[in-house]
Each structure stands twice: as structure tokens, then as C-alpha cells.
Structure 1
Amino acid sequence: MGQKLGRFWGRVQGKQHVQKICDKIFNQCVEQNGRELLRLNDLHLAILLVYNAVNKHFNGPHKEPPSVEEVRAMIELLLTKENVEGIDREQFYQLILKSISKDLNQLLINKFVLALLVAPAFAEITKIRGKSVPRIGAVVEKIPTPILISAYTIGFVLFQGFSMAIK
């Protein structure tokens, strides 16, 4: 149950989309050099490609990629920890996630605010329109409005941007 909730929360935050984007970009960059590691020289290009894909797939304001100096600092930090030629898929994902987490949090806040603003109106419209339907009207009258608001809020948060497909 906890794993399902964790995946659910990751989906709401957009981490699953970022994971798919990182995997796609990592595979593209690794195919060019023929190894299973992303070379540190190619790291800035890979980060720019990830941010380009993220900006295409996520609604909201444009997410700025880290500057060249910030990427150099990331590379120097990696080199001081250990003398490496490149990073693997999981290290790349964690590096991207660390730099994009602020933007993902803003995206999540925008989703919640929009859902909380729109859900009460949809709940009231549902109750008003539902009462006029012959067999459903009695059932709609028995459902409390706060339950409808909660259901709409959850639905809006889950399904905002649902049509975004990562190819």
C-alpha cells in the first residue's frame, strides 16, 4: 500500500514524467559515446535537453536550466567525491531532480490552487444539473456537497495534464 501511495505521490508531483525524460535523454547521449556512462563533458548538453523536454511537457512558467557555472560546480563536486569519467543513469536522474525540484514544487502548488478554486463551482453545478435528471436527482440530493468538492479536487489534481505523453 505504501509503495502505491509513493508512486501516486510521485505521479502527482511529476517525478515519473521527469524520470521518463531523463531515461530518454540519457539513452540518446550514451548511444553517441558507446558506453553505459554519461561523460561529464556531455552533462551540460544533457541537462539542456532535459529542461527543453520538461518545458514542452509541463504546463506553467518556463523552467530555467542551470547556468554553465552551476553545471561546472556540479561536475567539480562529482570529481572531488571520486575520480569518475561519467555518471550512470540513477546519478543523472538524481542530479536533474535536485536542480528541478523547485520547479516541480511550484507545479504541484499550481495544480492544488487551481483544483481548490475550480472544484466548488463544479460541485455546485453538478448538484444543480443533477437534480433535473429524473432517476439521478434523488441520489444527487443525498450526496453532501463537501464530498463532491473533495472528489473533484482529487480528480483535478490527478488528471491535470493527463494527456501529456512522453514518446
Structure 2
Amino acid sequence: MGQVLDRLQDKKWRQGKIRKITDKAFESLKNEEEKAQLTFEDLYIAVLLVYNDLNKHLPGPHFDPPSKDRVKQVMKECDVNPDGKIDRDEFYEFIKRMTGDTFTIISQGMIVTLVVAPMLAFAAMRAIEGVPGVVGKVARKLPKSVYVSLITIALVALCNWMQRISYHS
């Protein structure tokens, strides 16, 4: 678990991964006639593709892509040489700005899943061990790792279920 948390906090590692993703996306979207620069339409497609992948592959709630107005605003902020087009380096900054809040929410959810839920499970186990009768005996005989894993899975499932309910209402 320590290695996972180190990876979450390693800024160079994250920047390298983001750069690899943005370079791949840039290559797939760039228009050869435009000398490796993306137009607004290309950028909006890129944002839709990125948010589609985020929602497909990462844990947490569904993230709606930003509006076209937001994309235009960030495009203007990232367009260092105001030519109305985005080159590879500007695209990297553009994607970082567009997804910054999303990655913060995902990281917070992962910390809750990896740190807080097991701590709550361990505290609950201690409380249940003190219950007289069959429940306390079973809790004392069950290996701590199994118990904490089961409670953590149950808490994560409950959180996901609550998020789905709040998303659909």
C-alpha cells in the first residue's frame, strides 16, 4: 500500500504518464496540413475522448466533460503564441488544466479507499471483538486481514452504490 501512495504523490512519475498520454492523443488528432497544431474542434474532440476514458477506466463518479465555452477559455490561456491553434507543448498544459480537478477528486477517492476504509474496518473489528457471545467469538477467530478486506470491500461497494443513486436522481 505504501508503494501505491508513493506513486500517487510522485509528481515526476505523474507528469511523465500525463505527457505520454497527451503525446499519444496529440499524434492521433493532429492534422498533417496544419503543421502539428490542433484547432478548437480537434481540442474539443480530445477533451471528449479523455473524459470518456476517465469515466471508463478510473474509479469514482461519472465526470461530465467541460462545456465548449470552457474549452475555448482554456485554449486561449494555453495558446502561448496566440495563433488560435495548439501545439504539442501547449496541448500538454491544456489537458492538465482541463483534467486537474478531475484527478484531484479521483486521488481523494483512492486515498479514502486505500487508507480510511481499512482504518474504519479495523476499528469496527476491535469493537465487534468485545461483543459477548457468538459474534465476538467469530470476530476474534477471523484473521484480521480477511476481516479488514471484507469490510473495506463492503464500504467501497456502499460508496459506489450511493454515488450511483445520487448520480441518477
Task: Please tell me the TM-score bracket, short chain as reference.
Answer: 0.5 to 0.7
Q: 1:27: Cα distance to partner?
A: 0.9
CA distance in 2, matches of 1:56, 1:71: 21
CA distance in 1, matches of 2:76, 2:44: 13
Q: Which runs of 5+ in 2 are unaligned?
A: 126-138, 145-169
What per-residue deviation string (whole Å, max 9, x for no partner) do you get for residues 75-108 of structure 1? 34456x5332522222212111112111111111
1:21 is aligned to 2:24: no
Question: What corresponds to 1:164 in structure 2?
Answer: none
CA distance in 2, matches of 1:113, 1:8: 13
CA distance in 2, matches of 1:23, 1:8: 21
The 1:54/1:18 distance shift into structure 2, 3 A limit, reads farther
1:54 is aligned to 2:57: no
How many residues of Structure 1 are paired with residues of Structure 2 in the alignment? 126
1:94 is aligned to 2:93: yes
Q: 1:29: Cα distance to partner?
A: 0.5
Equivalent AA in structure 1 for residue 102 of structure 2: D
Question: What corresponds to 2:45 in structure 1?
Answer: 45
Question: What corresponds to 2:164 in structure 1?
Answer: none
Question: What corresponds to 1:83 in structure 2?
Answer: 82
Equivalent AA in structure 2 for residue 96 of structure 1: I
Give percent identity, aligned residues only. Answer: 29
**Taking structure 1 as the reference length, what is the TM-score of the superposition?**
0.56
CA distance in 2, matches of 1:14, 1:88: 21
C-alpha RMSD over aligned residues: 3.8
Question: What corresponds to 2:163 in structure 1?
Answer: none
Indicate if the aligned counterparts of 1:14 and 1:104 stay in contact, CA closer than 8 A.
Answer: no
Question: What corresponds to 2:132 in structure 1?
Answer: none
The 1:108/1:77 distance shift into structure 2, 3 A limit, reads closer
Indicate if the aligned counterparts of 2:8 and 2:107 stay in contact, CA closer than 8 A.
Answer: no
Question: What corresponds to 1:107 in structure 2?
Answer: 106
**Taking structure 2 as the reference length, what is the TM-score of the superposition?**
0.55
Question: What corresponds to 2:135 in structure 1?
Answer: none
Q: 1:113: Cα distance to partner?
A: 1.3
Q: 1:35: Cα distance to partner?
A: 2.7
Q: 1:59: Cα distance to partner?
A: 1.2
Look up the SS of the partner of 1:83 in the other structure: coil
Question: What corresponds to 1:9 in structure 2?
Answer: 9
Equivalent AA in structure 1 for residue 43 of structure 2: L
Look up the SS of the partner of 1:70 in the other structure: helix
Look up the SS of the partner of 2:30 in the other structure: helix
Q: Which runs of 5+ in 1 are unaligned?
A: 131-167
